[in-house]
Amino acid sequence: SREGESFSPAAAPSRVALIDELRSKGVEVVELDELSPTEVAKHFYVRGFLRVLWECGGKLATPAIKEGVVHKVMAFVAPKIIGGSRAPTPVGELGFDQMTQAMDITQLSYEVVDGDLLVTGYLPVSKRIADVAEEAFKVHDEQDLSSSAIEFYKSWNQYGMLSNFYGCPIVMEHGREASDVGKVTKTWRSVEHYYQAQKFSSSGSGKVSHEAQVIMDKIAAAPSAEEAAWIGRRSARSNPNLVRADWDKAKIDVMLKALRVKFREGSGPWRLLQSTCTKDHACKLIEFSPRDSFWGAGLDGMGENCLGKLLMDIRDEGRLE
């Protein structure tokens, strides 16, 4: 989670009074159709959270461990003794009958915190983020430019800078790139921030409504591209009347303008883009998104891959010049 923010997943419909009280205290309450550790983890994944503190009692800890959504364990051992049949335990019933079935915690570290002992480790079915990243880079390091395609998706992989979710700020002016001195400009935290906000911008035929401007401001303020995408998509579904009427036709042009700014000649993203080709061979670029069959390849790999095509167009323009 992000510093200073709390999330409370709840099953829909939930107790209205309790939800209102939590929201009044600054807690974001997310209502899910199915309340389970797996569904909660999926929601956080879509929001772009790489690490979430799951603070709960034994009843919630047990299904979370069983469903494999808990990777890192942080347990405090306090110099106190409690007992009795009603004494709380950190984990509920896991179905183990013998000590030989107990789950071993690995990669242990110990720290004394205000008189308590903090034990940190990892469940045997999980890995540290550093381990996952190392494997991801290893896969891409072994990728040969003689292969027919380069796939990109997550922003933390080697080719992740090609993704719209990569944190590369772009400076735009009223839906266009800022190039002339004196123009009013705005810096967007990523291409995805800009793209999502433009769904609610004026198509040139009128002024942006107050409601649409509020959504655009929320998207611009989102601390991550994943959060910006979540706000934009959710707002488009709940307020379709605020989406610009020509969006289906305009979105390609909006994306292309943002990409031209991000991949301007000489920039880091531009150098990475040019590295996907040689004098004699240019790799096909594929946004390997299982969720998007328009900008990406889709779940079945048969999507339109429009983002990959736009990037290849920008790259090949540089080669031809």
Taking alpha carbons only, the member of 291, 200, 178 closest to residue 251 is: 200
Residue 277 per-residue DSSP state:
B
Tokens 């979710």 locate to 165
Span 116-152, pLDDT tens digits: 999 998 886 554 445 544 554 454 444 454 457 899 9
**How high is the pLDDT of residue 221?**
93
**How high is the pLDDT of residue 11?**
63
**How high is the pLDDT of residue 141?**
47
pTM above 0.75, yes or no: no
What does 226-238 look like in DSSP terms, one character per residue?
A: HHHHHHHHHHHHH
**How high is the pLDDT of residue 102?**
80
What average pLDDT does range 88-96 have in this prediction? 78
Which amino acid makes up residue 203? Answer: S
CB atoms within 10 A of CB 250: 17
Mean pLDDT taken over the chain: 81
- What is the rounded distance in angstroms from the CA atom of residue 285 to the CA atom of residue 160? 12
**How high is the pLDDT of residue 136?**
46
Is pLDDT above 70 for 13? no
- What is the rounded distance in angstroms from the CA atom of residue 194 to the CA atom of residue 187? 9
